[in-house]
Amino acid sequence: MQSFDLGKEGLRALNSALHGLKGQTNMTDWEVINPKGAHAIAAGVDAPVDITVRGSTGYYCAGMNKQATIRIKGSAGPGVAENMMSGTVIIDGNASQYAGATGRGGLLVIKGNASSRCGVSMKGIDIVVHGSIGHMSAFMAQSGNLVVLGDAGDALGDSLYEARLFVRGSVKSLGADCIEKEMRPEHYALLEDLLKRGEADGKAKPEEFKRYGSARKLYNFNIDNAAAY
């Protein structure tokens, strides 16, 4: 394992080394110590490597990740795994606001709670939150899946498009154009897979969840919907 002391060597040296891992490499295990809440740790990685950050991270850890598996052995600041393309990000603690924002692929697992705007504008990412999520989560979410084992805050899924939201606990309120939808067999199968990949299969069962999605009433302008905008 390659151990990198962020406190001594600095962020630029870390990201430069990680960006240098083009294509295939046999240096696949990395450990980052002394992260001390630094921003943009392991942002822009594009290699099938395994990176463990021992501590909590600042903004945008694993931003735009491709291929890598990034484990945060602490909590993550705002925008963790923003615009992730592929790979996996697993957070042992909590995640601040905008977790997984605009993510296009890959899997984000948050073992604690996530703050507001979790999955905002998500575009294909899968997010599994073992705890609860804050207000305005999945705002304008376009595609992908958001699984929440706990509760959701106000205005869940406001103005969302085709993303699928699964919540086991309570939902404080639904946002504009977001409605509860029927759980069909394919959704149970999907959830079972997501719970397994999200390391939550022992914690919850698919049949305990409700599904939320777009009513598709705001997809085209209509004056009769003016009050919803």
Partner 1 sequence: MSDFPHTPPRYSATFTPAVNAEIRRAAASGIYDIRGGGTKRHLPHFDDLLFLGASISRYPLEGYREKCATDVWLGTRFAKKPIHLDIPVTIAGMSFGALSGPAKEALGRGASEAGTSTTTGDGGMTEEERGHSKTLVYQYLPSRYGMNPDDLRRADAIEVVVGQGAKPGGGGMLLGQKISDRVANMRNLPKGIDQRSACRHPDWTGPDDLEIKIHELREITDWEKPIYVKVGGARPYYDTALAVKAGADVVVVDGMQGGTAATQDVFIEHVGMPILACIPQAVKALQDLGMHRKVQLIVSGGIRSGADVAKAMALGADAVAIGTAALIALGDNDPKLEAEYQKLQTTADAYDDWHEGKDPAGITTQDPELFKRFDPVLGGRRLKNYLKVMTLEAQTIARACGKNHLHNLEPEDLCSLTIEAAAMAGVPLAGTSWIPGRNGGY
Footprint on this chain of partner 1 (rule: CB under 8 A)? 11-12, 15-16, 19, 39-40, 43-44, 46, 58-60, 63-64, 66, 78-79, 82-83, 85, 98, 101-102, 104, 117, 120-121, 123-124, 139-140, 142-143, 159, 161-162, 219-221, 223
Question: Which of 139, 114, 143 has the alpha carbon at shortest distance from 126?
Answer: 143
Nearer to partner 1, 94 or 121 (CB): 121
**What CA–CA distance (Å, rounded) separates 152 from 146?**
11
Residue 134 Cβ vs partner 1, minimum distance, rounded to whole Å:
14
Q: Tell me the C-alpha to C-alpha distance, in Å, between residue 74 and each of 37, 63, 111, 173, 176.
A: 10, 17, 10, 30, 34
Nearer to partner 1, 24 or 223 (CB): 223
Question: Which of 87, 150, 141 has the alpha carbon at shortest distance from 115?
Answer: 150
Nearer to partner 1, 39 or 73 (CB): 39
- Which residue matches tokens 């990395």? 30
Nearer to partner 1, 18 or 148 (CB): 18
Q: Which helix (H) or strand (E) holds 90?
A: strand 88-91
Residue 159 Cβ vs partner 1, minimum distance, rounded to whole Å:
8
Residue 229 Cβ vs partner 1, minimum distance, rounded to whole Å:
9
Residue 69 Cβ vs partner 1, minimum distance, rounded to whole Å:
17
Residue 78 Cβ vs partner 1, minimum distance, rounded to whole Å:
7
Nearer to partner 1, 6 or 200 (CB): 6
Please name the residues in contact with 125: beta carbons below 8 A apart, sequence gap of 6 or more.
Answer: 81, 84, 100, 103, 104, 105, 106, 107, 108, 119, 144
